[in-house]
Chains A and B, each alone.
Chain A
Amino acid sequence: MRSYPDARPRLADALVVIVVLALAASVALWQFSARTEAGALTVVVEIDTVEVDRFPISSQETHTYSHNGVTLTLAPYVGGAVTTSSLSSDLTQGVLVAESDCPTHDCVRTGAITRAGQSIVCLPGRIVVTLVGEQPDFDVIAG
């Protein structure tokens, strides 16, 4: 008569299940915490592809940068206007270029950026302002 291996669970099997479950839980927790940390938007400023500044989107201050003979000023944006008043969390927060002495003013005309992944580019000054943080629902922006 043919014999079959013992199919009853052993202690080692249980250990494997526990270790795999623990690993899965750790990865899930790690990814969840990464997302939570990234939930708030951050303004990142690069000059000539090198990061020179980084501040939370809730910043009330204006920020001025100069490069390649161009000076531009970033200002906070809330609900359709430049503001220095206190921010409300249920309003859309963003950042825009309020002033620039570049020849074309493309950066000013870009208007406010309010979502992760969006950017303002000043080509003459080689200054790029990008919003990073919460995972956007797209990989890249065309246009």
Chain B
Amino acid sequence: MKKCIFALCLAVLTLLTACGEKSASRSVYAMDTVMNLTIYGGDDALLDKCEQALREIEQTLSRRIETSAVAALNRDGSVTDSVVAALLFEALNVSAATSDAFYPALAQLIDAWGFGTDHQRVPTDEELSQLLEAVKASAFSIEGDTVFLEGEADIDLGGIAKGYAGEVLRALLRKAGTESAVLDLGGDVAVLGSKTDGSDWRIAVKDPADGAQHLGVLSLSDAFVTTSGVYERFFEENGVRYHHILDRDTGKSAESGLVSVTFVCDNGVWADALSTACFVMGVEDSLALRTKYIGRGAELFEMIFVTDDGRVLYTEGLADSFAPSEEGIYSYEIVS
């Protein structure tokens, strides 16, 4: 009879386990976007810690918050802050790797265009020329935890802040023993581990031409997926669309034949920065960059490009993990 009871308990436990691990979710408005955090095996206390971490990152990195370290750097020309120093160091590394296609000191140019505000406008060529001169004449350096900024340009870390936030949250969750989480940081996605049943997370990639459609679905674990595209922030004037991804060489919206770039990487900061950089660089230079980093041992350095002539190009490393949509209007090609 004891064996019977044991077998019964075992069966019940098995059935309950199959129902899945409990999740905790929360939406957070931070860093100029809305974020959705879902943690499996977590609770409200852990979500509180995540939210607090996001608030602290925003309070440190937002140049629009007067008391932030980045605002102090722009105002005073120097600041001592370990996070800003570390992040700017990474930003400079990405800038160097991408011939400044990603550049963290374009704050005045962004403000001149006014993307995402109620005073969006097309700056005059003269205005852009002056701003570009200021950008090119400026320089920054890092000594320990202190950052020095020379010249008139201002720092804007918006291009990597969400990626950094994803890294911080993943580290925080790992430390708390979480093995499974999906963090939607306003469209930039960080996944921790795999799903509770051991399968990969399924990440739909938004179609830049139609928010109701998807380009396809990525099956991944432990990864960051970030997208830069013309559809995110833009305005139209006299029939011309101006988007927020600026080319440091011209001060204008980057024109590289692309509508969007989705970057898949195991590092949030690099994924965030490189989706922007690859959009500016275009397909050919982005693939050359990929070859270089794969050659250096990068395990996950993949991209999905949507071109303005209706093609979706995805790198060979995604051949097994990206399932193209069967509904779309695009033609799909694997590239390397």
Contact = CB atoms under 8 A, between A and B. Distances in A.
Given A23-B12, A128-B34, A142 B203 contact: yes
Interface of A: 12-13, 15-16, 19-20, 23-24, 27, 46, 48-49, 94, 103-104, 106, 109-115, 117-118, 121, 123, 126, 128, 136-143
Given A139-B195, A143-B206, A143-B227, A49 B29 contact: yes
Nearest to A131: B212
Contact of B211 (A16, A24, A113, A138): A113
Nearest to A96: B212
B33 A139 contact: no
Interface of B: 1, 4, 7-8, 11-12, 15, 18-19, 26-29, 32-34, 36, 116-118, 120, 182, 184, 187-189, 191, 195, 201-206, 208, 210-212, 214, 217-218, 225-227, 229, 231, 233, 260, 262
B203 A137 contact: no
- Secondary structure at the B interface, as helix, strand, loop or mixed, is strand
Given A117-B204, A121-B34, A128-B34, 11 more contacts: A16-B7, A49-B28, A106-B233, A113-B212, A121-B33, A138-B202, A141-B206, A141-B214, A142-B218, A142-B227, A143-B187
Contacts of A142: 187-189, 203-206, 218, 225-227, 262
B211 to A, nearest CB: 5
B118 A139 contact: no
Contact of A27 (B4, B19, B116): B19
Contact of B27 (A20, A49, A143): A49
B201 A139 contact: yes
B27 A46 contact: yes
Given A111-B210, A113-B211, A103 B8 contact: no
A111 to B, nearest CB: 5
B229 A143 contact: yes
Contacts of B117: 103-104
A15 B4 contact: yes
B11 A23 contact: yes
Nearest to A117: B204
A103 B118 contact: yes
Contact of B34 (A16, A123, A141, A143): A123
Nearest to B187: A143
A19 B4 CA distance: 11
Contacts of A111: 210-212
A20 B182 contact: no
By Cβ-Cβ distance, the 3 closest A-B pairs, closest first, are: A143-B206, A103-B118, A138-B204
A126 B29 contact: yes
A12 B4 CA distance: 7
A140 B29 contact: no
20 contacts: A15-B4, A20-B7, A24-B15, A106-B116, A110-B211, A113-B211, A118-B211, A118-B212, A123-B34, A138-B204, A139-B203, A140-B189, A140-B204, A141-B205, A141-B214, A142-B188, A142-B204, A142-B226, A142-B227, A143-B227
B202 A123 contact: no
B4 A23 contact: no
Nearest to B11: A20
Contact of A138 (B1, B217, B229): B217
A115 B18 CA distance: 27
Contacts of A113: 211-212
Contacts of B227: 142-143
Contact of B4 (A16, A94, A106): A16
Contact of B15 (A16, A23, A137): A23
